[in-house]
Amino acid sequence: MDDRNGWGRGRPVPAGSPHSPPEWFVEQANVTDSEIDEEFTENWPDCWERAADLLSWEEPYDTVLDDSSAPFYEWFTGGELNAAYNCLDRHLEAGRKTHAAIRWEGKHGEYETYTYRDLYVAVNEFAAALCDLGVEEDDVVTIYLPMIPELPIAMLACARIGAPHSVVFAGLSANALSTRMAAADSEYLITCDGYYRRGDAFNQKSKADNAKLSVEADVETVVVDRLGDELPHVLGENEWDYDGLREEFAGETVEPVSRDAEDMLFLMYTSGTTGEPKGVVHTTGGYLAHVAWTSRAVLDVEPDDTYWCAADIGWITGHSYIVYGPLALGTTTVMYEGTPDYPDRDRLWEIVDRNAVDVFYTAPTAIRAFMKWGEKYPARHDLSSLRLLGSVGEPISPRPWRWYHEHVGGGECPIVDTWWQTETGAVIVSTLPGIDEMKPGAAGPPLPGIDVAIVDENGAPVDPGETGYLTITRPWPGMIRTLYDGDDRYRSEYWERFSDPNAGEWRYFSGDTAAVDEDGYVTVLGRVDDVINVSGRRLSTMEIESAITDVDGIAESAVVGRASKPNGTEIYAYVSTEGRSNPGDGLRRAIVENVESAIGPIAKPHEVVFTPELPKTRSGKIMRRLLEDIANDEAVGDTSALRNPEIVGEIRAGREDDT
């Protein structure tokens, strides 16, 4: 399986294939065949020097990869650098002071531009303030902010002084915040009074206050005033006003701290569908090199682009591809505070239009929503500035892929379907847009310099087309270094299952299932915990869902297993339609037939339940566990993590009507 590396590279793209990258794109692409030559892929791990070369090192590294204490790998050892210097100072030195760094789009249509110089000033002033509050190198600073400019400013200020940040998604609860602060021994918190969500003002500070009640340490807190008079707040002991601090330290600069390549840049707790959240540790050199290189090679970002990743910085996607990747390259990154449907469902396209966005990166859950709302919304705007589209977060099945290509990309823009995880730090599997042909539904081959193997229970590579476990067989620069909560858990979560330490063989297990085709293209099927076993056959819920959403008129679906005494596990499908309120039996039949023809009779849903919406977490992940509870007539657990808790009752009622 190791020779999969480099698969698909350098092959001539079949002429006339509908999904070859168009000539005009290839001609301008950052990475073309000549760069990804054999030398690149054979020369491992040194090929990763090209990523490191995108950065400015204060002290050059002496070893590309130190694997002497695997699976605790070290990259670019001996090197020293500062991430904030790489994202700011060096662009100023290169004469790009007035170039826009961040174009911020507010909830209510207000917008602001931060040039690289503006961002540099803000980061320095806030870094000076943090030092004054007592933050020292290696202290973990927790940031609990929504999508406002102070969020990347705070992250870069931490990076500048060598204090790892731990950003907690603003929509998470007080409880989630306190657990994360306690787990990271974090004594500093940056938050705000509140923020807007749809039409309403949310009180963030009261959540932060509640969280602090259960954190033992005295927490120094900085509060950003986002809502002004709309939500007055009072500062208590050890609480500081962000603007006040900026004023106090106006004009001050702080020397960027020289960080060892392997020093921690940040901690990111994964959403963790089960058990305790995991504190994923990312380091400075390898992470920054990997995100910069993939921003350039996969997202094709150029310094003069306006680039927009419509994710939240509270998750890894935003860390890597709103903040660190694009800013390391000196490009303009768009940051949006609101939701795609406020004030109307064309909000994103209006932003693309007004900012002349070149590259747009979003998630399939959003694309399915756009599809459901209809093509008239993107059609209202001039989207001709777009050159490349990206998708991340879950498998994108062919129908939404084609919709995205057609109605957002004008039938012209290539699409990169990027597979990666919080733990991988940056993209692992994706086509290179100027080289590879695209296959809707398959993410693509592993990136050059990355080795992926789809294996069976015993770690042996499965044949093309067979389902197996997605493993990564050689280390990569952006990889997780350990879990903050402990090295043992790191080994057991990711390495134990498929490694053979006695033979010196280390394989990272992603927790995903996937299949690979004859060309080495990987189709990700879903998490191992999303696999259901029906009559001894392992079925991917996501595979069934893809067959369901391929039916015309279907917006989204979620499939779960129901334990049935006579039949073993039965398949339950929850389905939302594109706007039809009363879908009826015709659609139900079409769903069942499509699943049967796509996968086989074994995968036919036993019951199809129509619902206006699926229950989702605030990060947009469907809560399958909850749907499982409903299917199994069990009490539904905690729904506080849901964005739309009201839907649970509706689904229950709908099921009762059907039976």
Binding residues vs ligand WT7 (CB under 6 A): 270-271, 316-317, 392-395, 417-422, 443, 510-512, 524, 527
State both tokens at 303. Answer: 């310094």
Min CB(443)–ligand WT7 separation in Å:
5
Min CB(619)–ligand WT7 separation in Å:
7
β-strand partners of 392: 418
| CB nearer to ligand WT7: pick between 192 and 515 | 515
The answer to whether 10 and 37 have CB atoms below 8 angstroms apart is: yes
Min CB(173)–ligand WT7 separation in Å:
18
| CB nearer to ligand WT7: pick between 158 and 316 | 316
The tokens 């320095």 sit on which residue? Answer: 124
Alpha carbon 484 to chain centroid, angstroms: 20
Min CB(424)–ligand WT7 separation in Å:
7
| CB nearer to ligand WT7: pick between 446 and 511 | 511
Full DSSP string of 6-26: TTTTTPPPPTT-TTSPPHHHH
| CB nearer to ligand WT7: pick between 129 and 155 | 155
| CB nearer to ligand WT7: pick between 471 and 577 | 471
Say if residue 45 is preceded by a cis peptide, omega within 30 of 0: yes
| CB nearer to ligand WT7: pick between 171 and 393 | 393
Q: CA–CA distance from 116 to each of 120, 262, 459, 513 (Å)?
A: 6, 27, 48, 42
Min CB(255)–ligand WT7 separation in Å:
33
Min CB(81)–ligand WT7 separation in Å:
24
| CB nearer to ligand WT7: pick between 306 and 418 | 418
Q: CA angle 373-553-352, nearest 5°?
A: 25
Min CB(23)–ligand WT7 separation in Å:
26
| CB nearer to ligand WT7: pick between 293 and 420 | 420
Residue 23: count of CB within 10 angstroms of its CB: 8
Q: CA–CA distance from 344 to each of 72, 107, 348, 378, 490 (Å)?
A: 48, 12, 9, 11, 44
Min CB(496)–ligand WT7 separation in Å:
18
Would you mind telling me the total number of residues written for the chain in this entry? Answer: 659
| CB nearer to ligand WT7: pick between 394 and 570 | 394
Min CB(421)–ligand WT7 separation in Å:
4
Q: What is the 3-state secondary structure (H, E, C) of 238-275?
A: CEEEHHHHHHHCCCCCCCCCCEECCCEEEEEECCCCCC
β-strand partners of 269: 279
Q: CA angle 207-208-211, nearest 5°?
A: 90
Integer-rounded Cα Rg, in Å, for the chain is 24
Q: CA–CA distance from 208 to each of 187, 217, 598 (Å)?
A: 13, 14, 48
| CB nearer to ligand WT7: pick between 79 and 286 | 286
| CB nearer to ligand WT7: pick between 115 and 295 | 295
In the three-class reduction of DSSP (H, G, I as helix; E, B as strand; rest coil), residue 298 is classed as coil
Min CB(470)–ligand WT7 separation in Å:
8
Min CB(315)–ligand WT7 separation in Å:
6
- The DSSP output letter for 429 is B
Count how many Cα atoms sit within 13 Å of the Cα of residue 647 in the half-sphere of its side chain.
Answer: 21
- The dihedral through the CA atoms of 480, 481, 485, 487 has a sign that is positive
Q: Quote the CA–CA distance of 515 and 513 in Å, as a whole number.
A: 7
Q: Quote the CA–CA distance of 130 and 110 in Å, as a whole number.
A: 28
